Structure 1
C-alpha cells in the first residue's frame, strides 16, 4: 500500500436518505394531520381567549402558533433534506431541520418572556375572567392535543425538528391541564389570579422546550460530539487496536440530528497491514458507536528522532493538527499535538 492513502468510508444512507425508520412520505402525512388539528383549534382558542379575557388561553394559543410553525418547518425540512447533495452543498440541505429547530426554540423563549411580564402584571392587578369558557376550551384542547401527540408519535422522532414538535405539543397538553384547573378555580371560587398563574405555568413550559431546542441545535451547529460519544475515550480505544501507532485529528460531530460522522488520521506500524487495520477500526466505529459515515486517512509510519511516529514518506502529520494525539497505552501517556 502507498505511504499516504486516504480512505473514504462514505455515507451509507440507503434508499431512505436520512436514515429514518419511517418513510418521509409517511412523516409528512402524520405531521400534516397534526398541523390541521393544531391550526383549527389554535384559531378557536385565540377567539375564545379574547372574548373571555383569559391570558392563559391567549398565551397558549400563541404557544400553539409556535407548535404549528415547528410542524410547518419540519415539513419543509423533510422536503429539503430529501434533495440530493450537489454543487456547494456537499451534505445537501440536511441541516435545514436544525435551522428551523433553533428558530422555533428562540421564538419560544421570546414568547415566554412576554407572557411572564403579562402574567406578573395580571397577578398584581387581575382582570375579570370568564371561568366557564376557559374550562370548556381547555378540556377541548386536552382532547385535540392528545390526538395531535398521537399523530406525531407515529412519525420518525429521530429528527430534532419532529421531536421538538412532539415535545411542544406534549407540553401544550400539560398546559391545558393547568388552564382547565385555572378555569375551574375561577368558575367555583372567583379567584381570577388563577388564570395568570396558569399563564406563568405555560411560560415555564415554553422556556423548558425552547431552551432544549436551542441547546441541542447549538451543539450540532458547533459540531460538538454526539451525546454518549466521548472523543477522548474513542481515540484511546482506536489507538489500542493492533497495528495502530497513533490517532490524531480525530473529529466526531453530527451532520444533522441522528446522523453522526467521524474523521481521523491514523498512523499504522510499518509491519501492519493498513487494509486490515482500517477494517478493524471501521468495525469498532460501526459496532460500538453506530458511526457509519466516516473518513479515515491511514498512513504507514516510522519512528522519528524524537521517538514520535512519523509517516513513512517523511511528511508531517498535518499542517495544523487539532486536538490531542492518542497513543497506545494508558491515558496519562497521551500527548498534545
Structure 2
C-alpha cells in the first residue's frame, strides 16, 4: 500500500510542451528543402539518362536528406499546435513516426542499389561521364549554397544543426560523384560508378539506421542516452532534504524534450510541499530535464512499493 502525501507537477514558470519555433530558421530549412528535393529529382533523371548508378544512389541520399528537412519542418509546424484533451502532449510524436517510416523506406532503397551495383561490377555498363559530371557539379554548387544558408542561422537550434549535417553529407556525395566522373573520363573505368554507388549507399544506411534506431528508442520510451536512472536516484537521495528517492522514470517526448517522474520522501524536519520544486530544479540543472512530475510519499513508503 502506497501512502501519498503530496503529488505535484513542477516545471518552474513555463509549463508549455511546445518547442521554441524560430521563424528565420524555419524559412532557411524550407528553402534548402526545396533545393534538395528539386535537385534529387534532377539527379535521378540525370543518372538514369547518363546510366550512372552513382548519381541514382546519390539522389537516394538526397531524398533521405530532403525527408529529414521535411521532418524538421513538420517539427516546427507541430510545435505550434497546442495540446488538446486527447493529446495532452501535443503532436510531437508525429515526427517520430515519420522518421521511422522514412528510415525503413531508405533501407529498401539501399538494398536495390547494392543489388544493382553487384550486377554492374560483374557486367559493367557504359556511363556518360560528361553529363554525369555536369549534374554532379550542379549538385555541389546547390549543396554549398544550402550549407551556407543553414550555417548562417541560429546555432542553438537542434533542427537547424541536424539539417546542416545532412546537407554537408550531400556535399561530400557530390564531390565523390565529380571524382568518379573525372576518373571515368580519364581512365574509362566504368567500374568506378558502381563502386561509388556502394559508398554512397553506406552513407544512406548510416542515416536510415540512425533514424530507425532513434525512433524506436523514443517509441519504446527508453531512458534518454547519457541518463543513468540509478545515478539520478542516488543524487536525489543524497540531498539533505530527502530521505529516500526511487521509481525514477524518464523518456524522450521528441528531440531534446525529456519527461520524467520520480518518488521522494522528506526528512523529518522538511516541509513535503518544498520537495517538488527542489527536485525539479535539481533535475533541470543537472540533467536538462524540463518536464518533471514529483510524487512525495510518506517516510518508509518507497521500501514497500514494487518498482515497475
- In the superposition, the TM-score normalised over structure 2's length comes to 0.89
Other structure's SS at 1:67 match: helix
Match of 2:32 in 1: 34
Match in the other structure for 1:321? 307
Give CA-to-partner distance per residue, 1:124-166, whole Å, 9 cap, x none. 111011111112221221111122233344266424xx55544
Q: Residue in 2 aligned with 1:325?
A: none
Within 2, Cα distance between the matches of 1:11 and 1:261?
14
**Distance change (3 Å), C-alpha of 1:91 and 1:241:** same
Count of residues in correspondence between the two structures: 304
Q: Which runs of 5+ in 2 are unaligned?
A: none
Q: What does residue 304 of structure 1 align with?
A: none
Match of 1:330 in 2: none
Answer yes or no: is the 8 Å Cα contact 1:231–1:251 preserved in 2: yes
Aligned counterpart for 1:291 among listed residues 289, 304, 307: 289
SS at match of 1:298: strand
Comparing both chains, which one has the higher relative contact order based on Cα–Cα distances under 8 Å and sequence gaps of 6 or more?
2
1:191 is paired with a residue of what secondary structure?
coil
| Partner Cα distance (1:37, 1:252) in 2 | 38
Structure with more of its chain in helix, by fraction:
2
Pair member with larger Rg: 1
Residue 261 of structure 1: SS of its match in structure 2?
strand
What is the aligned counterpart of 2:301 among 290, 310, 321? 310
CA distance in 2, matches of 1:129, 1:278: 67
Tell me which residue corresponds to 2:158: 158
CA-based RMSD: 2.4
Aligned twin of 1:63: 61
Q: CA deviation at 1:258?
A: 0.8
In the alignment, what sits opposite 1:200? Answer: 198
Secondary structure of residue in 2 paired with 1:171: helix
1:7 aligns with 2:8: yes
What secondary structure, in the 3-state scheme, does the structure 1 residue paired with 2:189 have?
coil
| Cα separation, partners in 2 of 1:279 and 1:61, compared to 1, 3 Å | closer
2:197 & 2:13 partners in 1: Cα distance? 47
Indicate if the aligned counterparts of 1:167 and 1:209 stay in contact, CA closer than 8 A.
no
In the TM superposition, residue 291 of structure 1 has moved relative to its aligned partner by 1.6
Q: 1:143 corresponds to which residue?
A: 141
Q: Which residue of 1 aligns with 2:251?
A: 253
Q: Deviations over 1:204-231 (max 9, x none)?
A: 0001111112122222112122222211
> C-alpha offsets along residues 54-93 of structure 1, whole Å, 9 cap, x if unaligned?
1111222232223223323332332123211102111000
SS in 2 for 1:245: strand
**TM-score when normalising by structure 1:** 0.82
Offset, 1:187: 0.4
Partner of 1:168: 166
Q: 1:195 to 1:12 in 2, by over 3 A?
A: farther
For residue 241 of structure 1, report the CA deviation from its aligned partner.
0.9
Q: Answer whether contact 2:276 2:295 (CA < 8 A) is retained.
A: no
**What whole-Å deviation, never above 9, does each CA across 1:241-280 have from its counterpart, x for those lacking one?**
1132221211011111111121011122333222344443
Q: Distance in 1 between matches of 2:270 and 2:157?
A: 43
For residue 240 of structure 2, what is the aligned residue in structure 1? 242
Task: Tell me, in whole angstroms, the C-alpha distance in 1 between the residues paired with 2:301 and 2:252.
Answer: 30
Task: Name the SS for the 2:298 alignment partner.
Answer: strand
